[in-house]
């Protein structure tokens, strides 16, 4: 007779590894998944939860979350980010180093780790900057940063301009087995841009960038990756033009993966109508044809990771003319409901979604989570995929409420979130 | 002056894009009668008597501000001019904060110019009174397009069915955008003429015909609208040099010869003589309607201020 701590029965088990959804029970012991299936014995002294037919999936691993620590704690703290994550079914957040100051040395990273441990109930895995001050000229102490827990290296939305510097960074990271996360974007073409070039933005009279700039940035990065044999992940692929480039390098055996953001999967360039700054993100929202191509690439597995690109901004930095307003949107809590739009309207299966939300990002960073199988950490999200509700941004757990989904109807709600078998969120409504 | 029945329901004048053609005609008709008033010796009416108009300019302007000031004063309003010094940072805070402060003083009309696209829309969301966009970034300059339409109608007798060439720096021009929108709404053919570096390709998808040389661009057109080329764009970044630009795109009587013989020449001012337009041509009273544009500017702005205040009075009464 197994000795379980927690038994979740009557669930729909969404298994991204097996690409399956089956009815059954999942039992947890010592923070790990101990058993699952149709006939798991449930008569032990474990805590019993009847899932009433709701979906149970591996907790989301979100690569590219901005926390306001250090520097902008009024926008988001570890505590608030973790609460938002738990409420969104995100059990691991992989943080961005584009803080103030940036996380570009082991001391800052150590401080960050201490704060993270003290405040957070979800797993927090930090990325570190690829170059000092994210300035694109000198590489950071890759090895020392790895020692204090950096899981990947990225200069976030400021790509390393100098090809020589970038190739050295890639070589050096490759020597240490470190993953580099790039932001494919031709930096000069996209300078000052806050919308995608096209008839819509041109009438608004705001600076634009051609969608080709992403393809050019990706081509440059991947050529250097092929040259240096580095491990590379593109943070956000958002245009149709970039996809053939990605495909070509993958066919040539490059060690490359690509992600995209939830906003580029669910919104398009028309959403910035009326100069609504909550829709200002980086890269800017794209044409509907680009959005569809991105969704299609996700379905085919060419794009393998969905991220929230959670970027908290306070009201002051958004209540500005479009050009001077800050970029970014909060998305930890809306990531899953927004991703479910792809299930409801674009026909993506739930296992496919959770491959991109949980399994693939976890594999990329070798975290061991993101799976529903015995022995895996019991990081889980229980959700109702169909329940509709209207998002009220004032009810978000983030300190910043800059969501583009305010007032919109979302379908799908997180019911409970578990980290290592411990409940870290329960929806009481 | 004549009284007519007018239907005009807009609360603000933020741009041509959202304005129905009927409203455009209402403004032009009323502006026509104000143009007559302005030609008389006694130029004052009491339509805005007791009302307060604040001109808030976040960007330098001489003629537009003077035009709005005169328009307000001739309608009997108390007009205040406010120059808001801008630095490159914190413009936005200044914008919202200044708007809230001014709003508390209960003006009836705010006339706003701002260097950033969309800034006037943003401001309009924060105040209770009517807001007139006097130019926002590269976005819109609706009263310029209206005064151009009035000038065209008075010169040619119509404001539809014409072929209009807008020439020069289209990309950075709010005048070009508002004119393109207005002229298309009124069923004119619009051509955009200029170097490729100054006309984003996307304009072609907005119904305009794009030309990169003056000879084909001006062929048989009824109206030639020249735009100002900003000084910082003359040397190197967008065009190689001033003289090459004038050589290719500067309007002179030779280039104008391919246009309709009765074609008129317009310019929103201030002109760079010898850059986008030949000085002699600009002064040719048989071709150039540039000073008429300035005159119609006051009339159109009087009409706009008049219509917006009666609209807002109406909505206040029903509240």
Cβ-based neighbours of A73, under 8 Å, separated by 6 or more: none
Option in B92, B121, B200 nearest A274 (CB): B121
* CB-based contact B117 A321, cutoff 8 Å: yes
Kindly report the CA angle at A235 between A234 and A241, in degrees rounded to 5? Answer: 60
The pLDDT value recorded for residue B317 is: 34
Neighbours of B309 (CB within 10 A): 20
Q: What is the 3-state secondary structure (H, E, C) of chain A?
A: CCCCCEEEEEEEEEECCCCEEEEEEEEEECCEEEEEECCCCCCCCCEEEECCCCEEEECEEEEEECCCCCCCCCCCCHHHHHHHHHHCCEEEEEECCCCCCCCCCHHHHHHHHHHHHHHCCCEEEEEECCEHHHCCCCECCHHHHHHCCCCEECCCCCCCCCHHHHHHHHHHHHHCCCEEEECCCCCCCCCCCCEECCHHHHHHCCCEECCHHHHHHHHHHHHHHHHHCCEEEECCCCCCCHHHHHHHHHHCCCCEEEEEEHHHHHCCHHHHHHHCHHHCCCCCCCCHHHHHHHHHHHHHCCCCEEECCECCCCHHHHCCCCCCCCCCECCCCCHHHHHHHHHHCCCCCHHHHHHHHHHHHHHHCCCCCCCCCCCCECCEEEEEEEEEEECCHHHCCCCCCCCCCCCCEEEEEEEEEEECCEEEEECCC
The pLDDT value recorded for residue B2 is: 43
Neighbours of B59 (CB within 10 A): 19
Determine the straight-line distance between the first and last CA of chain A, rounded to whole angstroms: 36
For residue B141, the Cα-to-chain-centroid distance in whole angstroms is 4
* CB-based contact B117 A323, cutoff 8 Å: yes
The pLDDT value recorded for residue A221 is: 98
A61: closest CA among A98, A31, A33, A88? A88
Please state, in angstroms and rounded to a whole number, the distance separating the CA atoms of residues B3 and B37: 13
Residue tagged 């936005």 (tokens): B92
Name every chain B residue with its beta carbon within 8 A of the beta carbon of A316.
Answer: 93
Residue tagged 């029965």 (tokens): A9
The pLDDT value recorded for residue A192 is: 93
> Tell me, what's the ipTM?
0.88
Higher pLDDT, A129 or B94: A129
| pLDDT of B87 higher than 80 | no
The share of chain A scoring above pLDDT 70, in percent, equals: 99
Please state, in angstroms and rounded to a whole number, the distance separating the CA atoms of residues A280 and A289: 19
| pLDDT of B230 higher than 90 | no
| pLDDT of B316 higher than 50 | no
Residue B104 Cα, gap to closest chain A Cα (Å): 19
SS3 B165: strand
Residue B112 Cα, gap to closest chain A Cα (Å): 14
Both structure tokens of B22: 């009927």
Mean pLDDT of A2-27: 94
Question: Which residues 277-316 on chain A approach chain B with CB closer than 8 angstroms?
Answer: 316
Mean pLDDT computed over every residue of chain A: 96
* CB-based contact A203 B96, cutoff 8 Å: no
Distances (CA, A) of A31 to A4, A98, A359, A382: 10, 32, 18, 16
Render pLDDT for A192-220 as a digit per residue (tens, 0 to 9): 999 999 999 999 999 999 999 999 999 99
Contact B119/A at CB under 8 A: yes
Q: Phi and psi (nearest 5°) for B168?
A: 120, -135
Neighbours of B198 (CB within 10 A): 22
Identify the residue among B118, B122, B170 best suited for mutation to test binding to A, counting A beta carbons within 10 A and taking the highest.
B118
Name every chain B residue with its beta carbon within 8 A of the beta carbon of A208.
Answer: 200
Mean pLDDT computed over every residue of chain B: 90
A93: closest CA among A77, A73, A70? A77
Residue B229 is classified by DSSP as P
Contact B141/A at CB under 8 A: no
Confidence of residue B7 (pLDDT cuts 50, 70, 90): low
Render pLDDT for A36-45 as a digit per residue (tens, 0 to 9): 998 887 767 8
The pLDDT value recorded for residue B12 is: 96
Render pLDDT for A321-352 as a digit per residue (tens, 0 to 9): 999 999 999 999 999 999 999 999 999 999 99
Render pLDDT for B112-158 as a digit per residue (tens, 0 to 9): 999 999 999 999 998 999 999 999 999 999 999 999 999 999 999 99
* CB-based contact A206 B17, cutoff 8 Å: no
Q: Is the dihedral of CA A179, A185, A188, A191 positive or negative?
A: negative
How many Cα atoms within 13 Å fall on the side-chain side of residue B159?
A: 23
* Beta strand extents in B172-269 (DSSP E only): 189-193, 209-211, 223-226, 264-266
Confidence of residue A252 (pLDDT cuts 50, 70, 90): very high
Name every chain A residue with its beta carbon within 8 A of the beta carbon of B119.
Answer: 321
Question: Which residues 195-214 on chain A approach chain B with CB closer than 8 angstroms?
Answer: 197-199, 201-206, 208
The pLDDT value recorded for residue A242 is: 98
Identify the residue among A203, A316, A326 best suited for mutation to test binding to B, counting B beta carbons within 10 A and taking the highest.
A203
Contact A321/B at CB under 8 A: yes
| pLDDT of A1 higher than 70 | no
Q: A211 and A197 in contact (C-beta within 8 Å)?
A: yes
SS3 B120: helix
- pTM for this entry: 0.93
Please state, in angstroms and rounded to a whole number, the distance separating the CA atoms of residues A252 and A90: 34
Question: Which residues 25-54 on chain B approach chain A with CB closer than 8 angstroms?
Answer: none
Mean pLDDT of A9-34: 96
Chain A's closest residue to B136, CA to CA, is A205
Mean pLDDT of A386-399: 96
Element (H, E) at B113: strand B109-114
Q: A47 and A423 in contact (C-beta within 8 Å)?
A: no
Cβ-based neighbours of B40, under 8 Å, separated by 6 or more: none
Neighbours of A136 (CB within 10 A): 19
SS3 B225: strand
């Amino acid at each position: 007779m197994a000795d379980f701590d927690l038994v979740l029965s009557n669930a729909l088990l969404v298994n991204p590894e097996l690409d399956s959804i089956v009815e059954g029970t999942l039992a947890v012991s010592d923070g790990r998944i101990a058993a699952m299936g149709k006939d798991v014995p449930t008569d032990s002294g474990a805590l019993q939860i009847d899932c009433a037919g709701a979906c149970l999936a591996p907790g989301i691993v979100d690569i590219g979350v901005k926390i306001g620590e250090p520097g902008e704690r009024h926008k988001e703290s570890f505590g608030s980010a973790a609460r938002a994550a738990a409420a969104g079914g995100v059990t691991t957040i992989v943080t961005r180093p584009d803080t103030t100051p940036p996380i570009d040395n082991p001391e800052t990273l150590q401080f960050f780790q201490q704060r993270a441990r003290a405040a957070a109930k979800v797993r927090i895995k930090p990325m570190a900057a690829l170059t000092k001050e994210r300035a694109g000229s000198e590489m950071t102490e890759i090895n020392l940063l790895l020692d204090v827990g950096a899981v990947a290296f990225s200069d976030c939305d400021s790509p390393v301009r100098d090809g020589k510097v970038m190739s050295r960074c890639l070589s050096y990271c490759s020597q240490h087995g470190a993953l580099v996360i790039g932001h494919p974007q031709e930096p000069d073409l996209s300078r000052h841009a806050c919308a995608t070039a096209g008839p819509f933005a041109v009438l608004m009279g705001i600076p634009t960038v051609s969608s080709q700039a992403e393809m050019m940035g990706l081509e440059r990065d991947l050529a250097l990756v092929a040259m240096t044999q580095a491990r590379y992940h593109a943070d956000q692929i958002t245009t149709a033009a970039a996809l053939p480039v990605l495909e070509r390098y993958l066919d040539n055996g490059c060690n490359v993966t690509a992600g995209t953001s939830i906003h580029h999967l669910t919104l398009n360039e028309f959403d910035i109508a009326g100069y609504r700054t909550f829709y200002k993100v980086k890269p800017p929202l794209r044409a509907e044809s680009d959005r569809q191509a991105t969704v299609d690439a996700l379905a085919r597995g060419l794009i393998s990771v969905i991220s929230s690109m959670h970027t908290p901004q306070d009201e002051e930095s958004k209540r500005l003319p479009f050009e001077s307003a800050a970029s970014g949107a909060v998305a930890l809590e809306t990531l899953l409901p927004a991703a479910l739009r792809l299930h409801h309207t674009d026909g993506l299966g739930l296992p496919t979604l959770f491959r991109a939300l949980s399994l693939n990002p976890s594999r990329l960073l070798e975290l061991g989570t993101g799976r529903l199988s015995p022995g895996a950490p019991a990081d889980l999200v229980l959700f109702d995929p169909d329940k509709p509700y209207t998002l009220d941004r004032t009810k978000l757990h983030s300190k910043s409420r800059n969501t583009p989904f305010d007032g919109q109807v979302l379908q799908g709600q997180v019911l409970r979130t578990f980290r290592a078998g411990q409940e870290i969120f329960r929806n009481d409504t | 002056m004549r009284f007519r029945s007018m239907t005009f329901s807009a609360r603000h004048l933020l741009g041509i894009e959202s304005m129905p053609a009927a409203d455009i005609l209402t403004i032009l008709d009323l502006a026509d009668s104000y143009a007559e008033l302005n030609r008389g010796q006694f130029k004052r009416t009491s339509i805005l008597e007791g009302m307060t108009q604040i001109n808030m300019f976040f960007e330098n302007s001489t003629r537009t501000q003077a035009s709005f000031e005169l328009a307000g004063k001739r309608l009997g309003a108390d007009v205040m001019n406010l120059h808001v010094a801008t630095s490159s940072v914190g413009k936005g805070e200044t914008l919202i904060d200044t708007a809230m402060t001014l709003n508390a003083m209960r003006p009836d009309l705010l006339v706003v110019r701002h260097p950033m696209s969309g800034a006037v829309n943003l401001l309009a969301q924060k105040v209770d009174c009517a807001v007139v966009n006097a130019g926002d970034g590269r976005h819109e300059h609706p009263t310029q397009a209206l005064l151009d339409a009035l000038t065209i109608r008075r010169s040619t007798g119509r404001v539809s069915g014409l072929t209009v060439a807008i020439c020069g720096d289209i990309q950075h021009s709010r005048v070009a955008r508002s004119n393109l929108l207005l002229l298309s709404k009124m069923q004119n053919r619009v051509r955009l003429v200029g170097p490729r570096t100054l006309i984003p390709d996307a304009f072609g998808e907005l119904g305009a015909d794009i030309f990169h040389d003056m000879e084909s661009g001006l062929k048989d057109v009824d109206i030639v609208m020249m735009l100002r080329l900003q000084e910082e764009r003359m040397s190197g970044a967008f065009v190689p040099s001033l003289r090459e630009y004038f050589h290719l795109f500067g309007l002179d009587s030779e280039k104008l010869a391919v246009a309709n013989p009765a074609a008129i020449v317009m310019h929103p001012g201030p002109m760079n003589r010898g850059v986008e337009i030949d000085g002699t041509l600009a002064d040719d009273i048989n071709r150039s309607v540039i000073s008429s544009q300035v005159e119609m500017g006051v009339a159109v702005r009087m009409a706009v201020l008049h219509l917006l205040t009666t609209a807002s009075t109406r909505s206040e009464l029903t509240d």
